[in-house]
Amino acid sequence: MFQSSEKFKAAIQADSRMFDVRMTIGSGSAIMDIGAEVKALLFATAAISGDCVSIGGALSSSIQVTMKNPETEIDGQELTVAIGVLSGDAYLFCPIGKFTPEKIINDDGLISFTAYDRMQTKLSKKYKGNISFPVDGKEALIHISYVTGVPLAESFTKLPAGVMIPQKFKTMEVDHKVGDTIYYKEVYIDPFDDCTYRDALNYIAQFYGKFAVIDRYGKIDFRWYDSVNYIVPPSKYYDDFKAESSEFKVGRIECKSETKTIVSGTSTPSIEIENPIMTQSRLDEIYTQIKDFTFIPASVSFLGDPRIDVGDVVMLQDKYGKIQYIPVMKMTMDYDGGLITEIQSCGKTETQTEASNNTSGPATQAIDSIQQELLEIKNALARKENVESCTAKTLSTTMITPSATGNWYYSSAVSSLANYDEIRVWLEIVDGQKGWVTLNRSNPAETVITLYLTASYNARVQLKWDTSSNKVGIYVRNIGSGWTVNQISIKRIVGVRMN
C-alpha cells in the first residue's frame, strides 16, 4: 500500500471528495503535464490470471483513457500517471504507474486508448541471456533488469540469497558405446530459451513463492499478501459484496512440466502452476512458506482509494461489526471525476478444485493466461459502458451543476439534439454513482434516479430532455446531509440513435 501523508489520508477518507488525474510525458526538465485533459480513466491490475490464488503472475496492468486530444503526440510515449485528491486548495497525488498507449482512436477532439505497463511494453520481448546456469535467482533478476532497462524494486533486497535457478532438461543423447552397449547422457539448456523476459520473471517469482508485478514507479516487484491495517467501513462500500461460504487454505502445490508433475502437500484445495525447471526440494520449501495462507474468496466495490495495491490484505467491516479479510488479487479503479475501487480475492474450495480437474498443458495455459487478461479488461469496460462506442457521438461536454434543490437547471441549447431519437447523459452523484442515463424522444418525460447508501448519503435526481428547445435538464428533489447539491452534475451528452 502506498504510504501517503496524513493530509492525503484525511482527504481520501473524508465524506466529500474531489479527484484529479495528473498525466505526464517526458523526463527531467522536459516533463509535460497533460493530465488536466483526462475525462475518464479505468485502471486494471491483477496478481493472477485465473480464478484461484497462485504464484508467478507477471501480468500486465493497463489503463483505459478518454481525454481531450492533447497538443503533443503521445502515441508510443510512456505516460506517468497519478491520481490526486483535493486537500484544502491543492491536490495531493498518489502515483499509479507508467503506461505506454496503443491504438489511439480520435473522435471529434476526444481520444481514447489502452495503455500497458512495462510488463507488456519492455518485458514481453524474447529472452536473450549471456549468463551461465545454474545461477542465483537474484543474479538472474539483475541480468533481466540490465538488459531490459526496467529497474528492480526495493523488494529485491529482501529476497533470500542462495535460491538457485537450474538448467532445463532437454533430451537424452548417445554419449558413447562399449561393444553393443549404448550409454546415454542428459542434455541441458538455458532455462529461458524460447521464453520472454516476462516468462522468466514468472518462473523466477515461483521459485521465491511470490508473484511478479510492475509497481507504481515502473519497477519489477516480487510480492506476497500482507496486511496493511486498512478498513473499509459499511458506509464506504456498495451493496455488491459477495463472499464464498467456506475458506480457502493452501492444501498443496502441483507443478506441471512437459514430462512430469511434482507435488508438495497432501490435501486439497491446491495451487496449480507450470514451471519446467522447478525442483521437488524447492517446491517443498515454497509450500512450507505459504501453506498457512488462509482467506475467504470475496469481492466488493467501495469509494475509491488509489493507495491500495495488489498484494494488500484489506479489512471489510460489515454493518454488524464483523471483519472480513480480503487479499487483493484483482483490482480496478474507475475515475470519472470521482473514484470507485473494486477488489477481488480468488480461491477454489475443495469441492471446486476436485470438480475442475484441470489437465491443460503449458501451451494451453499460456493461451488461457492471455485470454484471461483480455477478458479482465473487457469485463471492466463492459461494467463501465464506455461512451466511445462506435455509434455514439459527443454532443456536449459542458457541465450542468444544480445549485439548489427543488429547481430545474438546463443545458444551453444543443442544436444537434434535434437530429437524435435517443441520447445518453453522463450523470455523477458525488462518489456514490456515476453512469449513463438513456433518454428517448418518444418518451421525454422525467427520468428519476434514486440512490441510497446510508441515511446521510442518498439522493433523488430527475433528468428531462426538453425536445422543443433542444436542452437537457437536471432537478435534485432531495439529498442526504453528507453531500451537497453542487456535487451532483451532468458532465456529458452523447447522441446514440439518429432520427
pLDDT band of 469, cuts 50, 70, 90: very high
CA distance 264 to 273: 12
Contact by Cβ (8 Å): 357, 39: no
Given this model, what pLDDT does residue 168 score?
84
Partners of residue 83 on adjacent β-strands: 21, 94
User: Which among 379, 384, 57, 23 is positioned nearest to 212, based on CA atoms?
Assistant: 57
Task: Examine the pLDDT at 383 and tell me if it is beyond 50.
Answer: no
Give me the count of residues in the chain.
499
pLDDT band of 471, cuts 50, 70, 90: very high
Given this model, what pLDDT does residue 381 score?
54
Task: Examine the pLDDT at 361 and tell me if it is beyond 50.
Answer: no
Mean pLDDT of the chain: 86
For 18-55, the pLDDT digits (tens) are: 999 999 998 766 678 886 688 899 999 999 988 899 99
- What is the average per-residue pLDDT within 148-155? 96
Grid cell in block for residue 263: 507435488
- Consecutive H or E run containing 87: strand 79-87
Task: Examine the pLDDT at 472 and tell me if it is beyond 60.
Answer: yes
Contact by Cβ (8 Å): 414, 397: no
Task: Examine the pLDDT at 446 and tell me if it is beyond 80.
Answer: no
pLDDT band of 372, cuts 50, 70, 90: low
Cβ partners under 8 Å of residue 98, min gap 6: 78, 79, 80, 81, 117, 118, 214, 217, 218
Task: Examine the pLDDT at 388 and tell me if it is beyond 50.
Answer: no
- What is the average per-residue pLDDT within 97-112? 89
Given this model, what pLDDT does residue 391 score?
46
Task: Examine the pLDDT at 259 and tell me if it is beyond 90.
Answer: no
Partners of residue 99 on adjacent β-strands: 79
Task: Examine the pLDDT at 95 and tell me if it is beyond 90.
Answer: yes
CA distance 239 to 150: 40
- What is the average per-residue pLDDT within 100-113? 88
